[in-house]
Amino acid sequence: MYEDEETGNQGNEDDKDTNKVSPKQKQKKSKRSTNAQTPNELGAKSTASFFTLFITGQIVSATFPLGPDKDYIFCRYELVAGPDWQLVSGPQYGITQMSTNKTGHFNDKIVFNMPIEVTYKSTSPFGWPQILVSVFGQNQTGNESLVGYAHVYMPIFGGQQQLDEHISSLNQAPILRPKCPNMLGDITSWLLRRQPELKNPKILLDSAQSKGLSMESYGTLEFQLHAVMRGARKLGYNWHA
């Protein structure tokens, strides 16, 4: 009797009694498949409507050719993406540690080594995610003021593919600092030793709102980013020829 029940449960194609068993097994199967989809395993079928983008990398360092005029530098980053994009996992905001190069040469790299690991889900490549970094510095008296802004797109074709030794393996973005619009602002910022900041740095990412701003670029921020995509080819996208 015990053995018959076992075979009845397992071989559900032969017996007529398995009509009672099969709905339970179907429920069990559906529960199992939803559990498999949420941690996004490779075994789960990719549904045909969206693709996922896995981004890993780091903010490596900042380089200032004649040295930053500050003692300690730190960065605050924010990930910005279009309306079709949804952040599945990973932090959208972050602050790095405060790093310095005053014990070494003035134009040494200031290393942050800040990890960035996020996952996005989207239905269209429009509004591809970007990372917007605000670089701040602290001078000897402890005042923090802005050093500049830098932003890059997340890599679209997987990340750095170096075929040439002359191209560095780091993704370099210029650090842009807003300038005061008039001379009174220049004098005030020199007296108070604070640079002007943008109220909303996201206007640098929008071509319609950045008209009329005056910026100065000095220094570069280096990133090392890699991207893996899943499910885009099924939607018909052609990433490579």
Partner 1 sequence: MAEVHIIGQLLKAVDFDEPHLYCKWSFQSGNTWRLVQGEVQGQTHVSSHRLQNSSDFAQPIDIHLSTASLQGWPRLLVEVYAVNVLQQCWPVGYGFVHLPARPGPHRLEINTWRIAPSTWWQSVKEKFGGGSPALHKNDLLYSGVERYKLQTRSSGKIIVELNLIFRRFEEYGVEFK
What residues make contact with partner 1 under the rule CB under 8 A? 65-66, 82, 124-128, 130, 150-153, 156-157, 173-174, 176, 204-205, 207-208, 210-218, 235-241
> Closest CB to partner 1 among 54 and 153?
153
Q: How far is the CB of 222 from partner 1 (least distance, A)?
A: 14
What DSSP state is assigned to residue 46?
Answer: P
Give the long-range contacts of residues 91-97, CB within 8 A, separation 24 or more. Answer: 91/118, 92/118, 96/59
Mapped onto helix, strand or coil, the DSSP state of residue 30 is: helix
Residue 82: CA atoms inside 13 Å, Cβ hemisphere, count? 11
Tokens of residue 158, six digits: 């997987």
Nearer to partner 1, 8 or 174 (CB): 174
What is the smallest separation between the CB atom of 217 and partner 1, expressed in angstroms? 4
Select 38 or 214, whichever has its Cβ closest to partner 1.
214
CA 120 to chain CA centroid, nearest Å = 9
Q: CB 65 → partner 1: shortest distance, Å?
A: 6
Minimum CB–partner distance for residue 44 and partner 1 (Å) = 24
Minimum distance, C-beta of residue 161 to partner 1, in the bound complex (Å): 8
C-alpha 206/C-alpha 200 separation (Å) is 11
Find the shortest distance in angstroms from Cβ 175 to partner 1: 9
Residue 163 phi/psi, 5-degree rounding, is -105, -10
**Toward partner 1, which CB reaches closer, 33 or 47?**
47
Would you say 35 or 123 has its CB closer to partner 1? 123
Contacts by 151-156 with C-beta closer than 8 Å and gap 24+?
Answer: 151/204, 151/205, 152/223, 152/225, 153/128, 153/129, 154/53, 154/55, 154/128, 154/129, 154/130, 154/225, 154/227, 155/55, 155/225, 155/226, 155/227, 156/125, 156/128, 156/227, 156/239
Q: Which is nearer to partner 1, 126 or 190 (CB)?
A: 126
